[in-house]
Chain A
C-alpha cells in the first residue's frame, strides 16, 4: 500500500519534471501577485510591513488554487483515474499521495521563495522564519482540502471558477491562522498558538479529507 503511494508520488513528480511550464506558472504567479502590491501601494515601509503577512498568504492561496484543477483532470482524460479507482490500494491512499505530490510541486516552492518576497516588504528579520514555518504548515492543508473541490468539479464545464467558489471559503481558517501567526510575531508576541492550531488543522485535514475526496471521485466518475 505504501509502495503504491510512493509510486504515485514519484510518478507525479516525474510528470511535473516533464511539464515544467505548469510548475513555473504557479510559482511565477505567486511572485508577480505578491510583487504588485508594493508597486501599487508605494514604498511606505510601515504600511508595507503591516500588509505583508496578509498579502503573501493571499497570494499563496491563489497560486495553490491555480494548479488545483489539474490535480485529477489529466488522469481523468486519459483513463488513468479509472485504473486508480480499480487499483490495489484504497482510493483514500491514492488521493493522499496525489495531494502530497501536488504540495511538493506547488506548495513547497512557495515556502522556499516567500522569504525572498518578504524582502520587498521590509519585513523584520525574525519574521522570516515564522512566515516560512506558517506556510510550511499551511500550504499542505491547501492541497489536501483543495483536492475535495478538484474531485467534485471533475469533468464539469466551467469547473475552474466553480472550484474557486467551493474551495476558497474553506481556505479562510488557514489564511486567518497563517497570516495571524506572522502578525503576532510582528507585534512582538509568541506566534506558537496560531502555529499549533495550523498544525492541528493539518493533522485533521490529512486524516479525513482524503476519504472525502475519494467519495467525491467515485461520484464524479459515474
Chain B
C-alpha cells in the first residue's frame, strides 16, 4: 500500500541517502537501520509527508501523498522524537486532543484505559519523567488500531523493559491484524527477527 520510488534526501547540501526504493504492504514490519545522522528520521518524515524528498516520490495506494494530504494522514500514525504532549495539560487531556486532531472520537473510558495500560500516572505532564511522557504519547497507539500505517521514530527510547515489551506486543498485534509498521531503533528488540531491514549506512 505504501510505495517509495527512487527517493533521495539532501539536508544542508549533504546527501543523506538514496536513491532508495521500498514497498510496504499490509502486515509488514519494516525497520530502518543506520548510525546517528544517517537520515532515519528524515526517511520517516518523508514517508509521512512532513518532508519533501530531493527527488523521487512516495505513493499511497497509487497516488502521490503530496496530493492526498489529509486523505493520506488519516490512515497513518506518526510518533516522532518529540512526544507532542503539552506540559500544562494532564495526560488524558493530551491524549483526548491528540485523538481528536487525528479524527478519532474516543470515549473517556477508552482514553483512561489506554493510559493505564501504559501505567501513566494522572498528574500534569510537567511532573512526569521522560519515559512517562513517552508512554503518554505511545498510549495513542491503543486508540489508533484503525490507522493502517504506523511510523514510529525510536519508540523504545527512554522506556523501561516492561513498557518496551508492551509496545513490541502492540506493534506485533497491529501487523498481525493487517497493519503496516515502519520503525527505527537502536535497542535490540524481539521484533528484529520478524522485521525487514532498510539499512541507510550502506
Contact = CB atoms under 8 A, between A and B. Distances in A.
Chain A interface size band reads 20 to 34
Contact of A15 (B48, B88, B100): B88
A157 interface: no
Contact of B86 (A7, A15, A82, A86): A15
Contacts of B86: 15, 74, 78, 80
Contact of A83 (B81, B87, B102, B105): B102
Interface stretch (B20-28, B30-38, B68-76, B106-114): B68-76
A14 B48 contact: no
A89 B81 contact: no
B82 interface: yes
A173 interface: no
A78 B101 CA distance: 15
A3 interface: yes
Contacts of B190: none
A161 interface: no
Interface in B68-123: 69-70, 73-74, 76, 78, 80-89, 93, 97-98, 100-103, 105
Contacts of B70: 87-90
A11 B78 CA distance: 21
Contacts of A162: none
A205 interface: no
A86 to B, nearest CB: 4
Contacts of B74: 88
B69 A90 contact: yes
A79 B83 contact: yes
A27 to B, nearest CB: 19
A90 B72 CA distance: 12
B51 A86 contact: no
A11 B89 CA distance: 9
A79 B103 contact: no
Contact of B78 (A15, A18, A82): A82
B102 A7 contact: no
B88 A19 contact: yes
B52 interface: yes
A115 B73 CA distance: 47
Contacts of A113: none
A14 B103 contact: no
A196 B69 CA distance: 37
Contacts of A73: none
A78 B84 contact: yes
A108 interface: no
Interface of B: 48-52, 69-70, 73-74, 76, 78, 80-89, 93, 97-98, 100-103, 105
10 contacts: A14-B89, A18-B88, A19-B88, A79-B82, A79-B83, A82-B82, A84-B101, A87-B73, A87-B101, A88-B103
Given A19-B88, A82-B78, 11 more contacts: A4-B100, A8-B101, A15-B86, A18-B89, A77-B82, A78-B87, A79-B83, A80-B84, A83-B78, A83-B84, A222-B51
The 3 closest A-B pairs by CB, nearest first: A79-B82, A88-B103, A79-B84
